[in-house]
A and B are shown apart, each in its own frame.
Chain A
Amino acid sequence: MTQRHAIAIDTDNSPPRTARRLRWYVLLPLCCVGCLDSLPGKPTEADRYRRPDTIMDFATLYKQHCSGCHGADGTLGPAPPLNDSMFLTIISDAEIKQVLDHGRAGTPMPAMNQKQGGPLTDQQIEALIAGIREKWGAKSSATSESLPKYAVSVHANGQPVGDPIAGKQTFADSCASCHGEEGRGDHALNDRGFLGTISNQALRRIIITGRPDLGMPNYQEAGEESGAGKPLSSEDIDDLVALLSSWRSAETDESK
């Protein structure tokens, strides 16, 4: 600094001074352009329109395409919560992708892949799955081995494996206190409007994970609070799904 000052003094009135002035003539306009560039009206990359199929940000994708049914934060929506670490522990990426690609026939879950008429590309679906895992996935080390498996097992004819007769007893023990005798009452499950619009897969999943957001216990709590006093076994769950499924077909038969 001082050195430069010194130079300025001993070169007074000599050519470098004009050079310095010249520098200002160059710098000032550049400065102005710089200021203009920082004006609030200057469009930034964020203002640029992006085709919906180039959006990869999880929060945006989830908000636009899923929050309507699965809830703003993945809970308290009409559809099963995605923000549920037990659910995310038992379901595999491939299974999530299968749901997103094809939807669930006969339920409100729509196909989301462009190849199936939905709005999303393969990459966007991958981004969603990764985002769901990262944001809501299990933080603990709980592994899926210690939990009932996600997928519902079915016979060759599509009927779920499991014994509806045995299911009746399990239901009376573990579920009827809230859902009523034979599934009829205030929180009725034995109802065509309910069973006719939900898949067995979702039934199984809800029995396993419960709906913590709505006060529905998971398979451990429901079993432990029942007469049996222990978590529902994988078999119990099969039987319950078979029971609910049999109610569905009974209702359909009646209505014919």
Chain B
Amino acid sequence: MKSALMKFLWWFEHRLELRKTIWPVMRHPIPRDLRTQVGWLYVFGSTAMTLFVLQIITGIGLGMVYVPSAGEAYESLEHINYEVELGWMLRAIHNWSANGMVVLVVVHMTQVFLMGAYKYPRELTWIIGVLLLLLTVGMAFTGQVLRWDADSYWGLGVGVAMIGRIPWIGPQLVELLMGGPTMGADTLSRFFALHVFIIPGILFVALGIHLYLVVRKGISEPPVPSEPVDPATYVEKYEEKLKTGDPFFPDVFLRDAVFIGLTLLVVVGLSAILGPKGPSAPPDPTLMQVEPLPDWYFLPLFAVLALSPPSLETAIILIAPVIIVAALFLVPIFSGKGQRSPRRRPVAVLAVILFLLCYCVLWQLGVQEPWSPHMSAWSGEPVPESMIKGRSPKQLQGAAILQEKTCRNCHALDGRGGQRGPDLTDVATRLTRDQLVRQVIQGGGNMPAYGKEMNRDEVDALVSFLETLKPDGYAAAESSVVTDRSD
């Protein structure tokens, strides 16, 4: 029995000769220094790759049920969520594993960057890696579009508007992507093709080259401050190290396997507990109450767009991404040798910290979504009772007018309401009656002018109410040179 099986296998081996090709690759030596704790920093790349494989598997599953047509996509997602046995789990895993993949690719890159592993002779590995990052982001974005709900529809709109501003080729590019000058019937099929054929195809090839380079050029040894990279001697020294190295399989691979296992547990756990994302409201621009939000990794980008002054918008949209991507690609060209240890590369460490800080701050802004009005606050957020009690009949009318004129969609009272304009809870300590009247009638900043929409009585009542918005015992604002804005 056993020998029959062996015979069977040998028949294949005789023809495939895997022992001469794959096996040596599996056994390629890894520097001994990785045996210490530091070796745990080398597990992110392979884990990201595993999630990619998981994406393909779950993606194929979803592809069997998903209908990539504008009219039916939303319904087919609901079908997967509610009717297909465990379909929701498939969608959940695909979503959480996608999130994990984005995170791990970035973590992997950060580790490579901080440890100077992109330097000679692994510059090309890094450059292909940057390409892989862009492709991963591309997968995330196109995947979000396939969700085809209000969030995705709106996100696509913003993305397309960005592309449309590229000089010369912008409009043509938009047409190519969307299958027409505007979002239409063909748009979803184009993005479906991008998400399941084109980008994954390129990703496969790039990943192949990346892996080839990783194996050919070897895993970088942990940096030592006293051993800067010198292209003249590096390879020789490295090969010396490999002589005492450990084989990748199974010694080093075990560590990867542990981390991969943990990550898969987290992904499945998140899917089981939090479930799939959306679909939220259907992509119907007439649904006014929908307040769209992009997936979290794009939030900072949207925050930048929303907060940048209109005059700089185009520049920020078009120039900043080019600079950032170019910088990433060119890193190994400009600093391809010399010191690798992060302890001796303060600029590199600072750059990473700065990037993380910017990302987190912008993300926070994105979460609060201060630029987008809360469309239903005017009829759905009660005026705090403390602002009603003890008010005169006219002030009460003013409070109703504040609601009716949708001021609450941009302005909070006691923290509830839109965040686009300042919270008005204490506005009377800042502005005098004249200033309040002027603000309402003329608007200014990002606030519309209400002069034409309200008669004198309404403005009178509204401002009388605003005048009461100050803490008990506080004096009202007085006109002064400093606070009197003459705009």
Please list the residues of chain A having a beta carbon within 8 angstroms of any beta carbon in chain B: 33, 36, 39-43, 45, 47-49, 51-52, 63-69, 71-72, 76-79, 107-110, 119, 186-189, 191-198, 214, 255
- Beta-carbon contact of B394 and A43 below 8 Å: no
Which residue, A66, A188, A192, has most C-beta atoms of chain B within 10 A?
A192
- Beta-carbon contact of B380 and A65 below 8 Å: yes
- Beta-carbon contact of A43 and B400 below 8 Å: no
CA distance A196 to B393 in the complex (A): 12
- Beta-carbon contact of B276 and A67 below 8 Å: no
Residues from chain A with Cβ under 8 Å of B389 in the complex: 76, 214
- Beta-carbon contact of B275 and A78 below 8 Å: no
- Kindly report which residue of chain A lies nearest to residue B387, judged by CB atoms: A78
Q: With contacts A36-B86, A65-B379, A68-B377 known, is A76 near B388, CB below 8 A?
A: yes
Q: Is B282 an interface residue (CB 8 A)?
A: yes
- Beta-carbon contact of B82 and A45 below 8 Å: yes
- From the candidates B92, B380, B383, name the one contacting A78 in the complex (CB within 8 A): B383
Q: With contacts A43-B82, A67-B382 known, is A108 near B272, CB below 8 A?
A: no
CA distance A47 to B281 in the complex (A): 11
Q: Which 10 A-B pairs have the closest CB atoms?
A: A196-B457, A41-B275, A78-B399, A193-B460, A108-B404, A193-B461, A194-B394, A108-B400, A78-B400, A68-B379
A-B contact pairs, 9 of them (CB 8 A): A45-B82, A48-B78, A48-B82, A66-B379, A68-B381, A76-B388, A191-B394, A197-B461, A214-B388
Q: Is B477 an interface residue (CB 8 A)?
A: no
- From the candidates A36, A64, A187, A197, name the one contacting B89 in the complex (CB within 8 A): A36
- Kindly report which residue of chain A lies nearest to residue B461, judged by CB atoms: A193
Residues from chain B with Cβ under 8 Å of A45 in the complex: 82
A64-B289, A109-B404 known; 6 new pairs, CB 8 Å cut-off, are: A43-B81, A48-B81, A49-B278, A51-B282, A110-B404, A194-B394
Residues from chain A with Cβ under 8 Å of B457 in the complex: 192-193, 195-197
- From the candidates B287, B381, B458, name the one contacting A197 in the complex (CB within 8 A): B458
- Beta-carbon contact of A52 and B289 below 8 Å: yes
Q: How far is the CB of A37 from chain B (nearest CB, A)?
A: 8
CA distance A186 to B132 in the complex (A): 70
- Beta-carbon contact of A68 and B408 below 8 Å: yes
- Beta-carbon contact of A193 and B273 below 8 Å: no
CA distance A84 to B397 in the complex (A): 19
- Kindly report which residue of chain B lies nearest to residue A192, judged by CB atoms: B457
- Beta-carbon contact of A41 and B276 below 8 Å: yes
- Kindly report which residue of chain B lies nearest to residue A72, judged by CB atoms: B382
Q: With contacts A43-B81, A76-B389 known, is A193 near B400, CB below 8 A?
A: no
CA distance A108 to B462 in the complex (A): 11
Residues from chain B with Cβ under 8 Å of A195 in the complex: 457
Residues from chain A with Cβ under 8 Å of B394 in the complex: 188, 191, 193-194
Residues from chain B with Cβ under 8 Å of A65 in the complex: 379-380
Residues from chain B with Cβ under 8 Å of A48 in the complex: 78, 81-82
Q: How far is the CB of A35 from chain B (nearest CB, A)?
A: 10
- Beta-carbon contact of A193 and B275 below 8 Å: no
CA distance A105 to B76 in the complex (A): 45
- From the candidates A33, A107, A119, A191, name the one contacting B86 in the complex (CB within 8 A): A33
- From the candidates A43, A69, A192, A197, name the one contacting B275 in the complex (CB within 8 A): A43
- Kindly report which residue of chain B lies nearest to residue A76, judged by CB atoms: B385
CA distance A196 to B276 in the complex (A): 52
Which residue, B149, B408, B457, B461, has most C-beta atoms of chain A within 10 A?
B457
Q: Is B302 an interface residue (CB 8 A)?
A: no
